[in-house]
Amino acid sequence: MANSHLQGGAPFSRIVGTGRFLPGEPVTNDALAQRLAGHGVETSDAWIQERTGITQRYLASAEVSCSDLAVNAARIAMADAGIGADQIDMILVATSTPDMIFPSTACLVQKKLGITQGAAFDVQAVCSGFVYALATADLFIRAGKARNALVIGAEVFSRILDWNDRGTCVLFGDGAGAVVLRASQTPGVLAHRLHARGEYEGILRTPGQISHGNATGHPFLTMDGQAVFKLAVQVLESSAREVLSDAQMQPDQVDWLIPHQANVRILQFTAKRLGLPLSKLVVTVDQHGNTSAASVPMALDVARRDGRVQPGHHVLLQGVGGGFTWGAALVRM
């Protein structure tokens, strides 16, 4: 990475632009139920809403790739930040559904955006991916190795769903969210903590692989819903308290809580355990479904653009997902 000139730069990083992109038109629960009936799977709007809080999601058409979604979200974030392609010197894409085995989706995004400098690589931590990527970009900027980083969460989870399994296929959607992280003299990313417990890999995974020209193993997402729920609630609380402690702040100083948008009940449990009113909780899972690594940056963009998240607000971003992975980042906007 030919960027030694960046040494000695600003000691902090700040989010200066956000964007999101959703493919096509929303698919309501009723519309999804009609589709699933063709697979012999019975479900309903009431059944889905009662268990998840989801009312609709977006599903990418066959010709739309993960990098396509990422590029569209990135362009919106770059425009929001007032930054051009010639100023981006790092691209991180958090995804579990890349365009191909290699090159990375980040390199494909770099090509499509016309960026010719800096590093580009993917981060694979499933639904925790965006928080992992944000923390990584923050550390690069603090080390003087980058000034303007594109951090993107993008997924086409519809490609790895078993449409005969109503316990999983109703939960997920496709989309992308992006932020521009810029070097700054004033603190923006205040603290972050990342964790993984590989012994829990079996409760949420897609274990298929490509080997000798063949797809082997189980190609679809599988999940032990009860185990994921129990662990997610525990680690979301613990990681929140860790980053608040690192920043020497109390929960009541948080203006907005934006956890991974997996299930409305998990979100509400997390807020309750932290003693935060539900009015401080940003919820988009009802409109987007679970978009894995894209969910946190998309929710942040929604809350910024509708006027809830304002400059100076403290926002707690959290991810939790397969691996088992989790993490949190506390940012001042």
Catalytic sites, residue numbers: 127, 260, 290
Strands 189-196 and 325-332: antiparallel
Q: Is the peptide bond before 259 cis (omega within 30 degrees of 0)?
A: no
Contacts of 257 (CB under 8 A, 6+ apart): 240, 270, 271, 274, 276, 280, 281, 282, 315, 316, 318
Contacts of 253 (CB under 8 A, 6+ apart): 244, 314
Determine the residue type at 293: A
Q: What single DSSP character describes residue 188?
A: S
Cα–Cα distances (Å) from 62 to 69, 71, 99, 215, in that order, read: 13, 17, 12, 19
The answer to whether residues 201 and 329 touch, using CB atoms and an 8 Å cutoff, is no
Instruction: At 315, list the tokens.
Output: 């926002």
Residues in the chain: 333
